[in-house]
């Protein structure tokens, strides 16, 4: 059976490295902790000293509180009108706009608020310094608990000049905002910004996502980075096994719709994993896997199987590695999308899940 192995020892090691930054950490654990299981992930992070968590889902925020109690802070990244729940579970919430405050301020007493600057993401938040100052003034006038200032870089993993522009705008905006309000928490550095620049002196916290789960946030072979001593520990391993070896004659095909046609007489191996198990086609077809530490080409991809090259060194029952420390997800980002995209689709209903370090 194909297997997903999640290594929580590695999650803890990544967290320890981030804590060396000298700043506090807000761990992004949205979408079931990037599909690595929320409860086990937050327990692992908390065990090494992370006491602040962020998610986009209020159900996840409740689960964090129920799991770790009142000893942690929780920030709900998405806007919400579930004010009674936020109060009950002591969940900090986001301010998406001045209009949101004006329409809901009577429900916001005793809830800690984060002022978002929209920046280049523009998903929510104040669009300019005028709106920032209006939100601050409104909070002060109505005695609302404005705790934090935050934003998110849209271009931190791009090297086309846009990151420098958005960074300059954000830092200038914050410099003006802090003149009129004392923010207890300031967080706008994601994994890529931190890895690229180190810690900004302006922030109280960094807010990493993918670094916690063991991936470089961009291609470090082609782009510079400041955090030279950070070596990500891959958080998961995906393996399968060879279930058949087939001899193909020249011109014979295997798989759906001539997925692979033999250009010569050749042996191929059939492996019991496919896109139905949550492995992206773009990660599989035309790429490689590992057997006994050796790379083998993947010729075709099906819902529950892949077809790979075979030689005299492999046999039915051999383990086939799709993801591991030697085949990390960030090696495939340029082929099949973000690291988080590769993690999010892993199918725990069809893969056998094994957990290490819990």
| Residues 68 and 47 sit within 8 Å (Cβ to Cβ) | no
Specify whether 14 is located in the same domain as 141.
yes
Residue 1 lies in a domain: no
Specify whether 183 is located in the same domain as 256.
no
Token pair of 136 as six digits: 């601050």
Residue 221 lies in a domain: no
Q: What span, in angstroms and rounded, lies between the C-alpha atoms of 6 and 282?
A: 22
Q: What is the CATH classification number for the domain harbouring 269?
A: 2.40.37.10
Residue 2 lies in a domain: no
Specify whether 275 is located in the same domain as 243.
yes
Summarised one tens digit per residue, pLDDT across range 258-295 is 889 999 999 999 999 999 999 999 999 999 999 999 99
pTM given for the model: 0.94
| Averaged pLDDT of the chain | 94
pLDDT at 221 over 80: no
pLDDT at 334 over 80: no
Mean pLDDT value of segment 119-137: 90
Summarised one tens digit per residue, pLDDT across range 10-53 is 999 999 999 999 999 999 999 999 999 999 999 999 999 999 99
Specify whether 190 is located in the same domain as 308.
no
pLDDT of 335 reads 72
Mean pLDDT value of segment 53-61: 98
Residue 245 lies in a domain: yes
Confidence class for position 158, pLDDT limits 50, 70, 90: confident
pLDDT of 65 reads 98
pLDDT of 36 reads 98
Close Cβ partners of 175 (under 8 Å, ≥ 6 residues apart): 202
Residue 220 lies in a domain: no
pLDDT of 287 reads 94
Token pair of 220 as six digits: 């470090």
pLDDT of 304 reads 96
Confidence class for position 306, pLDDT limits 50, 70, 90: very high
Specify whether 294 is located in the same domain as 164.
no
Confidence class for position 150, pLDDT limits 50, 70, 90: very high
Specify whether 182 is located in the same domain as 280.
no
% of the chain with per-residue pLDDT over 70: 100
Summarised one tens digit per residue, pLDDT across range 248-262 is 999 999 988 888 999
Specify whether 99 is located in the same domain as 164.
yes
46-53 long-range CB contacts below 8 Å, 24 or more apart?
46/72, 47/12, 48/12, 48/15, 48/16, 48/19, 49/15, 49/16, 49/19, 50/15, 50/19, 50/25, 51/24, 52/24, 52/25, 52/26, 52/27, 52/205, 53/26, 53/27, 53/28, 53/29
Q: Provide the domain limits for residue 30.
A: 8-213
Residue 12 lies in a domain: yes
pLDDT at 220 over 80: no
Summarised one tens digit per residue, pLDDT across range 73-109 is 999 999 999 999 999 999 999 999 999 999 999 999 9
Specify whether 96 is located in the same domain as 33.
yes
Token pair of 113 as six digits: 């608020």
So which residues are the catalytic ones?
A: 30, 256
Between 188 and 337, name the one with better pLDDT.
188
pLDDT of 46 reads 98
Specify whether 154 is located in the same domain as 199.
yes
State which of 149-158, 215-224, 311-320, 327-336 shows the largest mean pLDDT: 311-320
Specify whether 55 is located in the same domain as 116.
yes
Which is nearest to 270 in space by CA: 301, 239, 232?
301
Specify whether 208 is located in the same domain as 285.
no
């Amino acid at each position: 059976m194909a297997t997903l192995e999640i290594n929580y020892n590695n999650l803890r090691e990544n967290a320890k490295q981030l804590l060396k930054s000298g700043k506090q950490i807000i761990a992004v654990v949205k979408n079931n902790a990037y599909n690595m299981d929320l409860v086990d992930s937050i327990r692992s992070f908390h065990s090494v000293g992370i006491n602040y968590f962020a998610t986009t889902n209020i159900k996840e925020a409740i689960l964090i509180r129920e799991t770790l109690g009142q000893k942690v802070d929780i920030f709900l990244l998405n806007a919400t009108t579930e004010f009674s729940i936020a109060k009950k579970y002591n969940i900090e919430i986001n301010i998406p706009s001045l209009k949101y405050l004006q329409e809901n301020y009577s429900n916001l007493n005793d809830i800690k608020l984060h002022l978002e600057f929209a920046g280049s993401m523009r998903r929510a938040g104040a669009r300019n310094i005028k709106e920032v100052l209006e939100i601050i003034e409104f909070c002060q006038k109505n005695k609302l608990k404005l705790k934090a200032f935050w934003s998110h870089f849209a271009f931190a993993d791009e090297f086309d000049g846009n990151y420098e522009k958005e960074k300059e705008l954000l830092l200038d905006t914050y410099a003006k905002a802090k003149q009129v309000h004392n923010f207890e928490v300031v967080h706008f550095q994601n994994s890529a910004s931190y890895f690229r620049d180190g810690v900004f002196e302006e922030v109280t916290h960094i807010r990493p996502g993918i670094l916690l789960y063991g991936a470089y946030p961009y291609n470090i072979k082609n782009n510079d980075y400041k955090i030279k001593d950070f070596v990500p520990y891959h958080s998961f391993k995906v393996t399968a096994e060879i279930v058949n070896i087939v001899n193909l004659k020249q011109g014979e095909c295997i798989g759906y719709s001539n997925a692979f046609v033999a250009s010569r007489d050749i042996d191929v191996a059939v492996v019991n994993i496919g896109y139905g198990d949550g492995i992206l086609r773009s990660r599989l077809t035309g790429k490689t896997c590992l057997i006994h530490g050796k790379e083998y080409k993947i010729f075709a991809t099906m819902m529950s199987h892949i077809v790979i090259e075979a030689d005299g060194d492999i046999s039915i029952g051999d383990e086939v590695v799709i993801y591991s420390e030697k085949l990390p997800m960030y090696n495939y980002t340029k082929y099949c999308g973000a690291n988080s995209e590769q993690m999010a689709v892993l199918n725990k209903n069809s893969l056998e899940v094994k957990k290490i370090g819990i």
